[in-house]
Amino acid sequence: MPPVAAPEAGFPWIVLAILLPLAGMVAALPLGRHARALALLLIPAGLVVALLLAAQVWREGEVTYALGGWTPPLGIALRADGFSAVMVVTTAVVLLGVALFAQSSFRAPPGEETRAALLFWALLLGLWGALNAAFLGNDLFNLYVALELLTLAAVPMASLEARAETLAAALRYLFFALAGSVLYLLGAVLLYGAYGTLDITLLAERAGPEPVTWAAAALMTAGLLAKTALFPLHLWLPPAHAGAPAAASAVLSALVVKASFFLVLRLWFDALPGVMTAAAGQLLAALGAGAILFGSVLALHQVRMKLLVAYSTVAQLGYLFLMVPLAGGGGAAQPWDAGAWSGGVLHAVSHAFAKAAMFLAAGLFLRAAGHDRIAELRGMGAALPMVTLAFGLAGLSLLGLPPSGGFIAKWLLLTTAMASGQWWWALVMFAGGLLAAGYVFRALTPLLARTETPVLPGRPVPRHQQWAVLGLALCSVALGVAPLMPFALLQVGRPEAAEEGIG
């Protein structure tokens, strides 16, 4: 039997979105000192590919692609729905900002190759490919390999400076990530044993609510939560994210943890929609609530700016899990599901921009002042007004103040919490917003303080780096001004449960 030809669809942008970064990573090694140039060429090209893929999903609906022409369950399929397209585009935009920022910091002297300059760009390309593979994969085992690819790119990024504390942080990160992926794989094994396939679309048809499936879902969810650093499995995140070079922190905090969150949603809403119970959704949201409160309080207590930003990631990740019970995870379809879904995803995207901007800004303060102790950054705002503005705008989005992507996202989550009668999650969101205001203003106050003598940056901060930070912060705000397009795109490929009504 000859292999079945791939369904006649448009141009396979979905393949190119994965192929481009991975081929770039492979080519970076022999290219050596030209790896930076290669990455700076590929990242804008990748953004174009991502936008074309999103346009394809927008026009034609869900895109699937059988790799090698072998259709599931024997072969592996790629699938892009609205959610994946949005994540792929977000990844490309954040990477563009980060690359613009890093092009001067990871640059070898002419004619030479240095360790950090080669490896940063090679790892960045690998990480990008792994993220796209995770967003576009439709096979649970293949997603395991993609997650491992992501881990092995992210861990060396965290220890790129190879100091004692970053080595320890990277090692701890590795242990959590490995334990997480083994648990995930164990769940996948059980699903294969019960249903004979790991294709998400086929599983959705075959899997029913039985003990084996519950065990598998519990194991896979636990594994993914360890990788997402959801409370109480968050211990590895702050030191790993705060210890990395600023450009790496931005990518780790903005994007890498979102991949495993994305897979939690894939698992609950796409692969096993009939399996999840309402109680499980409430439990997941309760952990999210714990993350919001605990992470925010810890962020309030941090002395160093990068750690404050890292703990705020722990808190903001919590919001993402509130959307699970609100968007109909483990229950009958409700009119407000679509609103909660859009709110959750919008939060993931706007947090990606805001957090990338904040980490890069923190990196610039660190560079200018030579340290990042918050209390001693007095007057930095006058020295670096653009960066401070960016930090403030990003903070606006974290707080959920209008106009910002974070505001729309939190507004949608709040209204659906009220509409669905789950008012307790609304309370958590109010408290989280107040605490976020606390830690953002705590970081901003010394920056904006007037000093007797004007503070001068110890080391000059290049203009283009300031623009990169401001650009990312503006993206997160802009999401609140023109949010209508992504809303409709997000609903492409949504299963019935979330398709009814617009919230």
Partner 1 sequence: MTALWLLDLCLVAVILAVALSAVAARDLFAATVFFVAYGLLIALAWVRLDAVDVALAEAAIGAGLTGVLLLGVTARVHMEARTPGPGRGMRLAIGAGCAAVSVALAAAVLSLPVPAPSLVPAVEAAIPATGLGNPVTAVLLAFRGYDTLLETLVLLLALLGVWSLAPDRLWGGRPGLRHRARPEGTLAWLGRLLPPIGLLVGVYVFWIGSDQPGGAFQAGTILAAVWLLAIMAGLSDAPPVRSLALRLVLVAGPVVFLGIGTAGLFVAGAFLGYPPAAAKTLIVTVEAALTLSIAATLALLVAGAPERAP
Partner 2 sequence: MTATLYGLTGAALVGIGLYGLIVRRHALRRLLAFNLLGSGVFLLFGAVAERAGPGGDPVPHAMIITGIVVALAATALGVALVLHLARETGRAEPDPPEG
Chain positions contacting partner 2, by CB under 8 A: 74, 141, 144-145, 148, 151-152, 155-156, 159, 162-164, 167-172, 174-175, 178-179, 182, 185-186, 189, 192-193
Give the three-state DSSP class for 166: helix
For the residues of 46-78, what is the DSSP string, one character each? HHHHHHHHHHHHHHH--EEEEGGGPPTTTS-EE
For the residues of 229-298, what is the DSSP string, one character each? T-TTS-TTHHHHHHHS-HHHHHHIIIIIHHHHHHHHHIIIIIISTTT--HHHHHHHHHHHHHHHHHHHHH
The reply to whether 5 sits near partner 1 by the rule CB under 8 A is: yes
152 vs 293, which CB is nearer to partner 2? 152
Q: 172 contacts which partner out of partner 2, partner 1, none, CB within 5 to 8 A by kind?
A: partner 2
16 vs 220, which CB is nearer to partner 2? 220
Q: 126 contacts which partner out of partner 2, partner 1, none, CB within 5 to 8 A by kind?
A: partner 1
Q: Is 106 exposed, middle or buried (0-12, 13-18, 19+ CB in 10 A)?
A: buried
How far apart (Å, rounded) are the C-alpha atoms in residues 95 and 153? Answer: 15
Q: Cis peptide before 403, with omega less than 30 degrees from 0?
A: yes
How far apart (Å, rounded) are the C-alpha atoms in residues 254 and 252? Answer: 6
> Shortest approach of partner 2 to residue 304 CB, angstroms?
16
Contact 338, 500 (CB under 8 A): yes
For the residues of 201-237, what is the DSSP string, one character each? HHHHHH--S-HHHHHHHHHHHHHHHHHHT-TTS-TTH
Q: Which of 43, 76, 230, 362 binds partner 1 (CB under 8 A)?
A: 76
Q: Which of 41, 60, 61, 115 binds partner 1 (CB under 8 A)?
A: 115
50 vs 160, which CB is nearer to partner 1? 160
Q: 123 contacts which partner out of partner 2, partner 1, none, CB within 5 to 8 A by kind?
A: partner 1
Count residues near partner 1 (CB under 8 A).
Answer: 62
Number of neighbouring beta carbons within 10 Å of residue 279 = 10
178 vs 286, which CB is nearer to partner 2? 178
Q: 133 contacts which partner out of partner 2, partner 1, none, CB within 5 to 8 A by kind?
A: partner 1
Q: 182 contacts which partner out of partner 2, partner 1, none, CB within 5 to 8 A by kind?
A: partner 2
Residues 170-189 that bind partner 1 (CB under 8 A): 186
> Shortest approach of partner 2 to residue 76 CB, angstroms?
11
How far apart (Å, rounded) are the C-alpha atoms in residues 437 and 442? Answer: 8
Q: 185 contacts which partner out of partner 2, partner 1, none, CB within 5 to 8 A by kind?
A: partner 2
How far apart (Å, rounded) are the C-alpha atoms in residues 183 and 113? Answer: 39
Q: 69 contacts which partner out of partner 2, partner 1, none, CB within 5 to 8 A by kind?
A: partner 1
The reply to whether 264 sits near partner 1 by the rule CB under 8 A is: no
Q: Name the residue type at position 67.
A: L
Instruction: Give residues in contact with partner 1 (CB under 8 A).
Output: 1-3, 5-6, 12, 15, 19, 22-23, 25-27, 29-30, 32, 65-70, 73-76, 113-116, 119, 122-123, 126, 129, 133, 141-142, 145-146, 148-149, 152-153, 155-156, 159-160, 162, 167, 186, 190, 193-197, 210-212, 215-216
